[in-house]
Amino acid sequence: MANFQYRWKSKKLREHVSVINGDIPPTIVLQNATYLNVHVNAWLKANIWVYEDRIVYVGDELPSETKGTEIVDCSSFFIVPGYIEPHVHPFQLYNPHSFAQYASQSGTTTIVNDNLMLALHLTKKKAFTFLDEMKKSPVTMYWWCRFDAQTEIRNEEEVFTTSNIKSWLDHETVIQGGELTCWPKVVAGDDIILHWMQEAKRRNKPIEGHLPGASEKTLVKMKLLGVDSDHEAMTGSDVKKRILQGYTTPLRYSSIRPDLPTILEELEQSDFHYYDQAFFTTDGSPPSFYQGGIINRLIAIALEQGIDPINAYKMASFNAAKHFKVEHIHGSASTGRIANLNILTDINNPTPIAVLANGKWVKKEGKLVESAFAQVNWDMLGLSKLNLDWDLCMDDLQFSMALGLSMVNDVILKPYSVLVDVSGEELAIDDDQSFLMLMDRHGKWRINTIIQGFDRGIGGLVSSYSNTGDIVIIGKNKNDMIVAFSRMKELGGGMVLVENGEVITEIPLPLDGVMSQKNLEELIVEEENMRSELFARGYSFTDPIYTLLFLSSTHLPYIRITPRGIYDVMNKTVLFPSIMR
């Protein structure tokens, strides 16, 4: 990982040695700890010395100089490495800072983030300023480098250029290329994306795939082209197939793919007990999914499935660090590593009572240490309220398209023929068809169609939260849709549900219309309210938040509503172009 092998400069390294020599006291000593040594796969007794942000010693000795040292008796506790979440979409209503703070309270101290929203919404300079600002968090934040927009946007060739890709890959906090949602293009002969993959490889950074349902032949091809990992295994067989081809394989437990229990059960039943090339992920789920924590929940599931605790904790830490080539500073409670440590009351309870992140207490005696997390100046980072200088009007709400989008599940859409009369002011309540629009956030274009299966009773739902940052509008009543839009505009971005002209519930998203400034505990309540009201009005799948996000996502079959128009994913063509206003 670029420059991170030089995290501590020569003067600081001399200080670390001086601690061992007894010239400088350590900052913290965790005394008489039973800790997981991931290198010998054993629970050992030791004293762990921490100096500032680094573990400087693990062994039997105690420091001779302890003036000002905080000594913590850990004789009744167990210490494991801080957990790593290797696949985060940190803009799922929450923001990277609020997610990191929340994650730290259940022991996740390192997260690897998707950069897509930054690449699409900010200039490269502002995006890199954002990355640098996030480095101030005690939770270590790394990033991906996307190679495509995951949808059909009008300026993709301006955003995803060789120059921009190289700049992202060169950034010291970017540790992988991908996720490779554009893999069909690579297989079909797109040498530009293949070149970008090779640029990542040249920098010794792995490539993450996105290969749901991939055959062995496809897995082999993508391995030959440079893909190192894939988080789309849905069964034990999928995991085995990937590991046998040399992939590192994340085991997923997310809001729309809670596959981990099934995967582990199938692997154990098949006598496949090899987990060194596997690690855990929650795949960037919406806020309400995270009640109870992040990676700690997946460890608990593994323990419930009979997985050996050492393997479970390694999948939550060391295995991910090794995959990303950062095991020299992450993933173990070992000398020389960053002091990311979880203190547990019991090996079988992976939710820590105390957490050290970068050598700072972020949780102590079961409580958040708020002073560990500095406030973020979002305006300085270019993330402020949406300032829309246009309005939604009845002229925009003209529907005549005979082709609609029918929901198969939370995220899969198929084309269907619209047979109902859509020319009036409203559609029938209790019918599963509703008006659907995607509006340019700058008010320049729109695309109007019908969605089937989303609901049976929504008057108007407007969301500035979407894959592209454009405005999604769904409803059965055009007046309610206009009221919902007006309220969203007044909020400066958000999700608003309206019925009979009255706001039923809302989620303000003042950070560029995509993210909330609130902590996750508050945001979970808002999202739960929204989910409850949508379910009450006929949403019949699992995750309406993901549905709204993925309406434009062309890495999923079969048809999408995108800034360029209604898009046929399988044939890679625009069926009906968007209309200029």
Which sequence spans correspond to the domains of the chain?
83-323, 394-580
Residue 213 burial by Cβ neighbours in a 10 Å radius (0-12, 13-18, 19+)? exposed
Omega cis (within 30) before 558: yes
No. of H helices and E strands in the chain? 17, 29
Mean pLDDT by 10 residues, the chain (581 residues): 66 98 98 98 98 98 97 98 98 98 98 97 96 97 97 89 98 97 96 98 98 97 98 98 98 97 97 95 97 98 98 98 97 98 98 98 97 95 95 96 96 96 94 97 97 97 96 98 98 98 98 97 98 97 96 95 96 96 94
Separation CA 438–CA 440 (nearest Å): 7
Separation CA 232–CA 249 (nearest Å): 8
Q: What is the pLDDT of residue 6?
A: 67
391-427 burial: b if 16+ Cβ within 10 Å, else e: ebeeebbebebeebbbbeebbebeebebeeebeeebb
Residue 200 burial by Cβ neighbours in a 10 Å radius (0-12, 13-18, 19+)? buried
Tally of CA atoms within 13 A in the half-sphere of 248 that contains its CB: 22
Cβ–Cβ < 8 Å for 530, 543: no
DSSP character at residue 423: -
Q: What is the pLDDT of residue 17?
A: 98
What are phi and psi for residue 518, nearest 5 degrees? -75, 160
37: nearest Cα among 302, 342, 334, 473: 334
449: nearest Cα among 580, 575, 561, 569: 561
Residue 9 burial by Cβ neighbours in a 10 Å radius (0-12, 13-18, 19+)? exposed
250: nearest Cα among 140, 85, 41: 85
Q: Which amino acid is at 163?
A: S
For 501-540, the DSSP string reads TEEEEEEE-TBTTTB-SS-HHHHHHHHHHHHHHHHHTT--
Q: What is the pLDDT of residue 57?
A: 98
* Residue listed under structure tokens 């749901």: 212
Give start and end residues of each alpha helix (H) in 226-282.
236-244, 260-269
pTM of the model: 0.97
Looking at the domain 83-323, which fold is it? TIM Barrel (3.20.20)
Cβ–Cβ < 8 Å for 337, 52: no
Residue 39 burial by Cβ neighbours in a 10 Å radius (0-12, 13-18, 19+)? exposed
Cβ–Cβ < 8 Å for 517, 378: yes
